[in-house]
Structure 1
Amino acid sequence: FGGFKRFRVDYSVIPWATFTDPEVAHVGLNELEASEQGIDYEVTRYDLSDLDRAIADGEAAGFVKVLTPPGKDKILGATIVGYHAGEMLNEFIATMKRGGKLGDILGTIHIYPTLGEANKFVAGEWRKARKPEKLLSFARRFFSWQRS
């Protein structure tokens, strides 16, 4: 808008993609950068070989990998290697930009079958790894007792 309205660019979330075969796309920290900065992290990974759309397209090689602080779902960084990785990364870019978490991605309805479902599935893998075992054990015993 010329001199009337100025826009500031936010450089806090800078993505990149390399258009090789397979594509490589990344945003935020990777494992090396997190280690060098002394940041504790966990890695959650989802292989595209389990994704229906990737299988149907014959492009099932690759993965989605997310770095989070231990026990928390804040996204420190995401790397996608595979078919259309650059397009798949956009959900992580937007989520990180607005301070969202893996739970926000997991709670979003994704179209089936699309490559974007891999983002939801990696968030689901993170959640599954942190399920409350004691509560689930209690619930199993309780419902077993109820049925008998």
Structure 2
Amino acid sequence: MADAPPSALLTPTPDDDGAPFWAYTARGELRIQACADPACAELRFPPRPCCPHCRSFDSEWRAMSGQGRIWSYVVPHPPLLPAYAAQAPYNAIVVELADAPRIRLVGNLVASADARLDSVDPDRIRIGAKVQVVFARVDGFALPRWVLERP
């Protein structure tokens, strides 16, 4: 997908805790924050300064396989923002990560990394379908999007 005009599409507003997530996506990597205390080691998303499980402030970023499954989805009618009207109907999916089932990310199911948001027919979307992360460049960010493992 070609870069859209600045501010036309929803893009992240990174904070100190989430900035590493976006730095990794810019390199084509999906990493999730984890507690660095070996007695805990729990993954957490969204990123935050303190582990909600053990209260440690030590963290690290673990590489994920980028595989997951569709946990939920919606096809908004009509588009909620004018910048998305030309791509309607599009989808928003919630993906449960294969290597971290308690971690769920929101994105779009697309035919390829550079495809439009409406590139997958909404009738083809199924809860439980296996997906793989891809990264689309939008307004200077590499946004995680998802493609079906078996299109």
Tell me which protein shows more strand as a share of its residues: 2
Tell me which protein shows more helix as a share of its residues: 1
Normalising by structure 2, we get a TM-score of 0.27
